Amino acid sequence: MAVKAVEVQRLEGPEGLALVERPEPAADGQVLVQVHVAGVSFPDLLLSRGLYQVKPQLPFVLGLEAAGRVLSAPEPSGLRVGQRVVVSGLGSWAELLAAPPEKVFPLSDRLSLAQGTAFLMNYQTAHFGLVRRGRLQAGETLLVQGAAGGVGSAAVDLGRALGAQVLAVVSDEAKAEVVRRLGAEHVVLAGEGWLERVRQLSGGGVDVAFDPVGGDRFDDTVRALAPEGRLVVIGFAGGRIPSLAMNRVLFRNIDVVGAAWGAFAERVPELPRRTHVALSELAEAGRLHPLVGAEFPLEQAAEALRLIEARRALGKVVLRLRGEEGT
Ligand SMILES: NC(=O)c1ccc[n+]([C@@H]2O[C@H](COP(=O)([O-])OP(=O)(O)OC[C@H]3O[C@@H](n4cnc5c(N)ncnc54)[C@H](OP(=O)(O)O)[C@@H]3O)[C@@H](O)[C@H]2O)c1
């Protein structure tokens, strides 16, 4: 049977994509998943331009994550036919996806399949960045840059669920409204004066800053930290990769830590499952509410990528291949 998929045929971003039919993937000891929803993320945009750390050979099926139902699974995986699952792995913008059992996780009934796609890269990165790398504690103050975006909105939602007081920075009022609904205590518009406002609101400085933006806001993000504050470097959506003079780290008594989830998960293969279990417990308790901001059909995958490129994404952007129940 032929399977519809979206390939990157030229490394030209949205213009280089094509909807194609490919042969059905062989299960070959892997879990075969019928994809209902595929996630769209900033790294997809980088992959489509050949700017990501992984550089697959052309043509390749785009997409790093999906949610759907199990069609077949090897016996020891413990997965059932028909079970709702989330899957991480390259090639998810396709009707069928074959993945090794360690990349397939059961999805909580409290979350829709569309929300499930946010639960992979965005929430796992937020968990790794806040809990393991940033050592965020309940009662601490957390500053989130790019807070309405994919990974930023996950950090706001998770930070609040972990008991932090969340201060969010966004570039416009529409994004501010979305982040307030996610539960940020204070939302500050980026622009002149945001640093002063964050210092006032946090009583002098924040304990943890979560930064997927870098760029021109980075210097002030460093200045926003309280003594012993932790800056968690997530990415550089703002374009510029900033640098930092070590005297500022020394005299301000701060930590600057990187959180590259994909690279770390390769080194500690059991960590994604443990992180998924921790996140699922919070979801089961009704404490996480992943925000899905936009849905596109597979045929409009290029539009989905353009939305992210234009900095207009709110929360998770997804491609819808089938209804929640299978239609
Ligand atoms: N470390 C990891 O493991 C990991 C995992 C996933 C993603 N990432 C990285 O995290 C970054 C954000 O990813 P995402 O999926 O959250 O992206 P996204 O949904 O597009 O959000 C990015 C946010 O960055 C802000 N931004 C500032 N300048 C921008 C610009 N010039 N272009 C686009 N956005 C800009 C925007 O917020 P405002 O408009 O409010 O400023 C936007 O909402 C990317 O660099 C991605 O590669 C890292």
Tell me the mean pLDDT per 10 residues along the chain, length 327.
95 98 91 98 96 94 98 93 96 97 96 96 97 98 97 98 98 95 95 93 97 94 98 94 96 97 93 97 97 97 97 96 77
Q: Is the CB of 260 under 6 A from ligand 1?
A: yes
Residue nearest atom 13 in ligand 1 by C-alpha distance: 42
Sorted by where each begins, the domain ranges of the chain are: 2-118+290-320, 122-262
- CA distances from residue 39 to 250, 279, 315 in whole angstroms, order as listed: 40, 18, 11
Euclidean distance between CA atoms 305 and 203, whole angstroms:
39
DSSP state letter for 120:
T
Going by their DSSP bridges, the two strands 316-320 and 292-297 should be labelled as parallel
Q: What separation in Å is there between the alpha carbon of 71 and the centre of ligand 1? A: 34
Taking CA atoms only, the protein residue closest to ligand 1 atom 33 is 311
Name the one residue in this structure whose structure tokens are 């491609």: 319
CA 128 to ligand 1: nearest atom? 3
Q: Is 13 exposed, middle or buried (0-12, 13-18, 19+ CB in 10 A)?
A: buried
Q: Could you give the CA distance from residue 280 to residue 288 in angstroms, rounded to a whole number?
A: 9
User: What was the pLDDT predicted at 75?
Assistant: 87
Judge if the beta carbon of residue 308 lies within 6 A of ligand 1: yes
pLDDT at 326: 60
Closest residue by CA, ligand 1 atom 28: 238
The highest-level CATH class for domain 122-262 is: alpha beta
Strands 31-40 and 316-320: antiparallel
**Ligand 1: does its nearest atom lie under 6 Å from the Cβ of 215?**
yes
The ligand 1 atom at the shortest distance from the C-alpha of residue 315 is: 19
Q: Is the CB of 146 under 6 A from ligand 1?
A: yes
Q: What's the CA-to-centroid distance between 52 and ligand 1, angstroms?
A: 14
Q: CA-to-CA distance for 6 and 42, rounded, in angstroms?
A: 16
Residue owning the nearest CA to atom 20 of ligand 1? 308
Judge contact between 293 and 315, C-beta under 8 A.
yes
| Centre of ligand 1 from the C-alpha of residue 221, in Å | 15
Question: What is the rounded CA–CA span in Å between residue 95 and residue 109?
Answer: 22
pTM over 0.75: yes
Instruction: Please name the residues in contact with 272: beta carbons below 8 A apart, sequence gap of 6 or more.
Output: 88, 102, 103, 105, 124, 265
The answer to whether residues 280 and 82 touch, using CB atoms and an 8 Å cutoff, is: no
Structure-token match 């972990």, residue found = 162
Q: Helical H runs in 70-130?
A: 113-118, 121-127
**CATH code of the domain occupying 2-118+290-320:** 3.90.180.10
CB of 125 closer than 6 A to ligand 1?
yes
Nearest to 304 by CA among 9, 60, 13, 11: 13
CA distance 199 to 182: 22
* C-beta 233 within 6 A of ligand 1: no
